[in-house]
Amino acid sequence: MDILLIGGLWLNGSVWGRVTSALEALGHRPVPLTLPGQGDGSVTATLDDQLEAVLAAVDAAPGKPMVVGHSAACTLAWLAADRRPGRLAKVALIGGFPTADGQPYADFFEVRDDAMPFPGWGPFEGPDAADLDDGARRELAAAAIPVPAGVSRAVVRLTGEGRFDVPVVVVCPEFTPAQAQQWINAGDVPELARAKHVDFADIDSGHWPMVTQPAELARILAAAADAA
What pairing do the DSSP bridges indicate for beta strands 147-148 and 115-116? Answer: antiparallel
Q: Cβ neighbours of residue 113 under 8 Å, at least 6 residues apart? A: 146
Burial class of 19 by CB neighbour count within 10 A (0 to 12, 13 to 18, 19+)? buried
CB 168 within 8 A of CB 189: no
The pLDDT tens digits for 70-119 are 999 999 999 999 999 999 999 999 999 999 999 999 999 999 989 999 99
Query: Over the range 45-77, which residues count as b (16 or more CB within 10 Å of their CB) and which as e?
Result: bbbebbbebbbebbeebeebbbbbbbbbbbbbb
- pTM of the full predicted structure? 0.96
CB 65 within 8 A of CB 4: yes
Residue 53 has pLDDT above 90, yes or no: yes
The pLDDT tens digits for 16-52 are 999 999 999 999 999 999 999 988 878 899 999 999 9
